[in-house]
Every structure is written in C-alpha cells, then in structure tokens.
Structure 1
Amino acid sequence: MRLTAPRGREMAARWVLLGLLAACVTEAAKKDMLNVCMDAKHHKTKPGPEGELHNQCTPWKDNACCTANTSMEAHKDQSYLYSFNWNHCGGMKDKCKRHFIQDTCFYECSPNLGPWIVQTDTSWRRERIMDVPLCKEDCDQWWNDCQDSFTCKENWHKGWNWTTGSNQCPRGSECRPFKTVFPQPADLCEKLWSRSYKYTTESQGSGRCMQMWFSNTEVNPNVAVAEYYARLAGAPMPGPGAWLFLLAPALLALL
C-alpha cells in the first residue's frame, strides 16, 4: 500500500531527525574526548578549575584533572604519588628534574589527552596514554638538560627493585649518563614511559603537537591540538550552521 504524501513526509522527517540524533551523540562523544580525565590513580573523575595548583602545574589551574595536593606532590623528589625516586642514580640535576616535574604535571593535570587514551589493566590505573605527539622543542630540550644526569634504565615503567618501598636500580644494572642510555631525544621521549609519548618534528605553535608545558598566562595551546587529532580519528564535527542546514528539511517536512 502506498503512503499518502503527508504520511510519507512524516516518515522522511523522522528518519532525518533520527540521523541528526545519532550525529549529535557522535559529536557529544567527541567533545567528551576533548575534555576528559584518565581513569587512573590520582586523576579527578572530571576536569574543572583548580585555583591553587602548585608552581609548574599552574598552567592547568583553569581546567585540570589534578588536585592542588597532587600538584604539590608532583614537585617532591619522592612523593606519595608513586613512591618514585628521581635520584636513583645520585642527585638528578635541577635543570633535568624540572622536565620530569613538567612531565608529571602534564600527565596528571591535562584534560586534553583524550585522543591518546587507551585501555590498560594494572592495579593502579585502567587507562593510560600512548603516542602523544610531543613538540620537537619539548623533547629536544628535555634531552639537552638531562644528558649529563644519570640513570640505570631506559624504560621507567617496569623492572625496578621495589624491595625498599621505592624504585632502586635492578641488580646487575649500572648508572650511566642519560646521553648513553638515550642516544637521541626521540629515545628519551618514546622509551622512557613505554611509548606514552611520540617524538615529532612539529614545532610549538604548529597546532600539530602537544606542549608539555606552557605559561600560565597563555591560552592552553593543547586544546586546538587535541581537536585536530580528534577530527583525524573520525568524521569532521559540523558547526552550528551545518546543524541548522540539516534540520531545516525535517522541520519543513513536518509542516
């Protein structure tokens, strides 16, 4: 039996509206990806303002996944966060330690890591980041400032001796300069935390790489970068004008 014209228009409008609803759900999911906290040990469940973030964590004070207490602990040589000891091969130089504090603040506080969050299965977190594209300057300066400090391992995620309650070098290992453990900046950024980061040749301000740190007087440059990679991961997100264009036929069909 053939549908009458009004009935046919009504059915067509319903299909268009269903399509719009599905698209809205997809867009909402993408927005969640762009402002989200990892399911991990010290992360908040949702990002939000934290006016009292400490020292090198302050750039994220307007929208952070870390608490003020976490930001304080991130600056200690051996904090309760992970009982990790930066000085496992003697005192780490201050200019080198500064980058590890920035690394910790970036990991704990940034709400812009959604495109690189993956599932994991450990006792202390259910999600982690993988292959976050770091700007060339961040990796290069990290390596330059740490090359004469010492470590005994290239992968700091695993393989430590924890019998004392904090990480000690495993038996049989030797402390060597960073520049011999990590011959190139890419080795440091990519191997240190099991591919959490990816070395790129992109520069700060390009909109194609994440800055590990930025001034607390700047607009967060990583917001735009996360949006760019979220688009690469799926269909482009239409703007308000596109939604009105799609909605018009459905409204007209219901008249």
Structure 2
Amino acid sequence: MWGALSMLLVLSSSALSLDKLNMCMDAKHHKGEPGPEGELYLQCSPWRDNACCTANTSTEAHNDNSYLYNFNWNHCGVMSPQCKKHFIQDTCFYECSPHLGPWIREANQNWRKERILDVPLCMEDCHSWWEDCKYDYTCKNNWHKGWDWSSGVNKCPEGSKCRKWTEIYPTPEAMCEQIWSNSYLYTTHSKNSGRCMQLWFTGPNPNKKVAEYYLNNAQQHQSLALTTLLILAVASFSIMKY
C-alpha cells in the first residue's frame, strides 16, 4: 500500500513539473497557453517561436502610455532611450515568456490572478539595466503600487519628489528586487551559468533549461519531503499496531 501511494505522489509531482515548463500565467494580457507568434515586434521578437504574448501586446510594449497598463515611464521627465530599452525588454520578458512556471504565484489583484516572484535574474542584466538608468530620475522605489492614478495614468504621489536613480536605487540589486515588488531576485550568476533567467537573448530561448534546473531541484526537495512523511507515517502505523 505504501509503495503504491509513494509512486502515485511522485508521478503527480512529475506531471505538475512538466506543466510548469511551458505555461502562461493568468494575467491581464497573457494568452491561455504558449505558442508561435511570428510577428512579434522588435524587442519582443526573441520569443516568436513560443510566446505567451500576442503581436498586438508586443507592439504596445514599446509605446509610452500604452493600453497595456496606462503606465507612464516619463513620470519624472523624459526617460532616456538607453534606460527605456531595458523596461521594454522587461515588459517583453514578463508578457511573452513561457518558462516562468517555477516562479508563478497567486496574486490577489483585480488585474491579474497570478504574478511572478523571485525570478533569478542574471547579474549582467541587473547591472546593465541599472547602469543605463543611473542618470535618470524617479520618485518611487516600488513601481507596482502607491501612484496617483487620478488622471488615468500614474503620477508621482503627493509629497514625493523626483530624485536621481542612484538615490532611489543605490545598487543594481536594490533596483532589480524593489522595482516590481520582488518579482525578480538579484543573483551573482552569469548568463553562461544556466542558473539565471535572461531578459534578452538571441537564438534559442536559454531560459527553458534554467526553468528545468529549478523545477528539478524543487521536485527533488518535494520527493525527499514526501519520503520523510511516508517513513513517519509507516513508523506511526507500526507503533499503533503494537
């Protein structure tokens, strides 16, 4: 009996992991499931072979005050092109990536039912993003909440003031982890490590292997935990018999 139960739990865990390797989160503009999108626009084009975003979403990701979220990048003056490039890549990654399953969590928000949490970003991505934005300005460290939306687009809240990027985010780590409520986790892994997700890439999507690595680790921990529970249950059952 215990052997059959153990096998069933392991098989269920494996099936769940396979699902998480190729999925779209339940959010405002995501497709129900990933698939080819040959016409993805500019910085979203790397995902065209297998994407959670549509062509329209990829186009809007490049626009200021797009209909996606009515978010104004220029809330503290015009954002520099080199800085904005990273936010477009960030939007494409969020909207298009089919390999975020290990980090998808429930979200109690009216515009999405799921979000990502602690996605491990490659060190180069965080550092280049921060370097290219360090002469820009913003008034908040968490861009997910706390804005003044009374005009229909985000404005700096009353009492805040625009400050230099490096005052709000003194390090690349602070920026990557704070700006979207810990959606991203800063790591010291490099792009060739296979241990971190890349916001931008050319050629085949390297993030699938990264997702596989973290899923396999999670599955091993889950299997160990299940085995421990089964051993404790058998021991408890044996004690009760006698």
Q: Tell me which interval the TM-score lies in, with the shorter structure as reference length.
A: 0.7 to 0.9
Please give the residue correspondences for 1:70-89 in structure 2 after superposition, counting only pairs within 5 Å. Answer: 70-89=57-76
Structure 1 residues 81-160: aligned runs within 5 Å? 81-160=68-147
Q: 1:62 aligns with which of 49, 61, 66?
A: 49
Q: Aligned with 1:49: secondary structure?
A: coil
Which structure has the larger Rg over C-alpha atoms? Answer: 1
Question: Matches of 2:73 and 2:198 in 1, distance apart?
Answer: 22
Counterpart for residue 221 of structure 1: 206
Counterpart selection for 2:187 from 200, 203, 216: 200
Once the two structures are TM-superposed, the CA of residue 143 in structure 1 deviates from its matched residue by 0.2
Letter in 1 for 2:204: V
TM-score scaled to structure 1, two decimals? 0.83
Give the length in aligned residue pairs.
Answer: 222
Query: How much has 1:25 moved relative to structure 2?
Result: 3.5
1:76 Cα shift?
0.2
Q: What amino acid does structure 1 have at the position aligned with 2:55?
A: A
**Contact 2:52 / 2:96 at 8 angstroms: preserved in 1?**
yes
Q: Which residue of 2 aligns with 1:253?
A: none
Give the corresponding residue for 1:40. 27
Q: How far off is 1:19 after superposition? A: 6.2
Tell whether 2:199 aligns with 1:212.
Answer: yes
Residue 185 of structure 2 aligns to a residue in which SS?
A: strand
Query: Residues 171 and 223 (structure 1 numbering): CA distance in 2 closer, same or farther, change over 3 Å?
Result: same
Give the CA deviation at 1:134: 0.3
- In structure 1, the residue matched to 2:236 is none
After TM superposition, the structure 1 stretch with the greater mean CA deviation from structure 2, 108-117 or 25-34, is 25-34
Aligned 8 A contact 2:122 2:190 in 1: yes
Aligned AA for 1:146? C
Counterpart of 2:46 in structure 1: which amino acid? P
Deviations along 1:58-114, whole A, 9 cap, x unmatched? 010000000000000000011000000000011000000000000000000001100
Matched, 1:231 2:216: yes
Deviations 1:16-65 (A, max 9, x none): 78865654433221111111100000001100100010000001000000
In 1, Cα distance between equivalents of 2:4 and 2:108: 39
Contact 1:93 1:146 in 2 (8 A): yes
What fraction of aligned residue pairs are identical, expressed as a percent?
62
Equivalent residue number for residue 248 of structure 1: none
- In the alignment, the residues of structure 2 paired with residue 169 and residue 47 of structure 1 have an alpha-carbon distance, to the nearest angstrom, of 36
* Residues in 1 aligned to 2:5 and 2:180: alpha-carbon distance in whole angstroms: 44
What TM-score results when the alignment is normalised by the length of structure 2? 0.88
CA distance in 2, matches of 1:131, 1:25: 25
> CA offset at residue 212 of structure 1?
0.7
Contact 2:100/2:116, CA 8 A, preserved across alignment: yes
Aligned to 1:252: none
User: Which residue does 2:37 correspond to in 1?
Assistant: 50
